[in-house]
Chain A
Amino acid sequence: MFTDFFYTLRERSVPVSLTEWMALMEALSKGCITNLDEFYYLARAILVKSEAYYDQYDVAFQECFKGIQVPPEITEQIMEWLKDPFNRLQLSPAEMALLETMSLDELIEELEKRLREQDEQHDGGNYWIGRGGTSPFGHSGAHPAGFRLGGSGGGRSAMKIAEERKFRNYRHDLTLDVRQIKVALRQLRQLNRIGPEELDLDGTIDATCKNAGELEFIWKRSRKNAVKLLLLMDVGGSMEPFAHLCSLLFSAAHSSSHFKDFQYYYFHNCVYDYLYKDIERRDRIGIDHVLRTTESDYKVVLVGDACMASSELIDSLGSIYYYERNYRPGIARLKQIAQHFTHCIWLNPESKSYWNHPTIAAIAKVFPMYELTIEGLGQAVKKLIVKR
């Protein structure tokens, strides 16, 4: 039953498991769902465990159940309407002739065709299905032989809700935007966990015994998970808005949960001999100096599109700025960084489908690369805090 729906949901990357599916089947077997709308809400409550997936659920629901609800209702309505001889009297002779020529099935087909063609509400016309018009389909119209469709009813139908797709903004797989900073910040919270003070039971017992039985409490702090962060951002050209976004994001995280240390530098396209302290790239600092003075337990986050001409990455003197004169190729510098620091990740605003570009693929071999979406950010952070 509905196994297509199960597989469509999984195709749309909604994480549904078999246990949840069986729970849905159990609920259905209790037999209290009478229509599609109730099924929509029931399945959503049981199968979808985060509002981030509500939009994909709507898409899958539309795919599987589109067109199911409408035909049976029309057939009944039409049959009821046509049975009433009084209604037939209202048809003009020309229309009666038309009715004779078209069979009921053809009429239904015509109606469905118009329903598909029309994608917005239309009032006062004479062809589209709408209200207050002279078209034969719709309601509150002036056509004598109109079929009443829709109009006021209790609640909105599930198909309508699924089509509205009002949960689109809650998705976690769209490229990061200013509006999602708040949600993204929560992902970064995993980077900082400070333990509270707790009673050291063994220490207390020990101290109490030493104290001839007089109670003496010993408190200890759980281990602090202090995080030091180094942020390297690609600026210039198309990367600028993302660099701005990232610096905003990480400085917000820093001001709210205070990393033990937070440093950031800029580069353009690729890291060569220098890193820059400012976006205009005038104030520079040598990369060897940075590597010497920064301990290897810093977590490194590189943000960039990793997209450049191959020569810029692989060749000596490959930098597009003539006076930069890097004798060591960019890729060697990146490997140097990856070897010095224990935890590094690369965040790429480009979507994964573009990652077969040669330089992106090459850099992805050096650093674990993640998309700059909320989901990607979450995965990247998990990679940063895992113990080596």
Chain B
Amino acid sequence: MRNDGFDQFKGSHDYVTSEPLRNAVNVSIALGRPLLVRGEPGTGKTLLAHSIAKGLGKNLIVWNIKSTTKAQEGLYVYDTVQRLNDSRFGDKDVSNIKHYIKLGKLGQAFTSKEQDVLLIDEIDKADLEFPNDLLNELDEMSFYIPETNETFKAIHRPIVIITSNAEKELPDAFLRRCIFHYIEFPDPSLMEEIVRVHYPDLKKSLLEQAMSAFYSLRQIDQFRKKPSTSELIDWIHAILASGIGSIDPAKELPFLSTLIKKESDYNLFMTTYAKRRQLKVSETS
């Protein structure tokens, strides 16, 4: 039973959402259009789809796009090489093409018996023509296999979530058909909620120290890659696992390699900022 209301998705207990994001998800479900999510790496775009599937109790199909992916692969794959091999060596019956047609992820979503959530992850990794090739299928929710002369039409329109890292520009015709949302980097209060979801027993003082250290690292413009949400969560995990009770601003930050991933950034931090922190603390003490 489909509820046409705009309030189906309320988030799930292990994924914190902001109100604009919930709104965007509900709009996309109600209008039946795919949702395109963009944001900095590590802001939880992929996890959003998992959270939607969990929140609405639907099955999740994940299609990870690589740079070599072609749109056709999402619909179906006709395994010619296997058929050639079987005809030469095997005893299988090669006259029926249907045995060699395997449905791709999009095809699976269309032919599923119930409404599924389809995640197309990192669509901008693929070729520039890739989103255009999918246009027709996403619009009409049906595709045609010329080899077997069959048309597959979606029984239930799947909820399509598309994530993009903003590596390449996506074609306009594709963007027209999507609902768009940009996940901003969370502000401190939202970040606190997110951390609390993962570590409900975290001490308030440790959390505050970690957050202040994290945000001060993000202020440094010269970093090639600033630490993101997922790195903060890993860092806190490392701190908790090692049993460190508090972070002393005067001393070196523990487990810095979970936050800073580039060697140049690490060197920059150690030479300039570590010294400055020590100087500052010795001034105030």
Contacts and interface: CB of A to CB of B under 8 A. Distances in A.
Contacts of A360: none
A32 B167 contact: no
Interface stretch (A17-25, A82-90, A223-231, A284-292): A17-25
Interface stretch (B50-58, B108-116, B173-181, B190-198): B173-181
* Interface SS of B by simple majority: mixed
A99 B7 CA distance: 45
Interface in B1-59: 4-7, 19-20, 23-24, 27-28, 30-31, 33, 36, 38
A30 B7 CA distance: 13
B91 interface: no
Given A17-B176, A54-B182, A42 B23 contact: yes
Interface string A266-289: 000000000000000000000000
Nearest to A20: B176
B205 interface: no
Interface string B158-200: 0000000011110010011111111000000000000000000
Given A155-B19, A179-B221, A45 B179 contact: yes
A48 B221 CA distance: 28
B77 interface: no
B68 A196 contact: yes
Interface residues of A, number: 36
Contacts, number: 74
Contacts of B36: 49
Given A15-B172, A45-B181, A49-B36, A215 B27 contact: no
B180 A45 contact: yes
Contacts of A32: 5-7, 30
Interface string A34-50: 00001001101110111
A312 to B, nearest CB: 37
Contacts of B6: 30, 32-33
A186 B166 contact: yes
Interface in A31-75: 32-33, 38, 41-42, 44-46, 48-51, 54
B282 to A, nearest CB: 31
B88 interface: yes
B24 A41 contact: yes
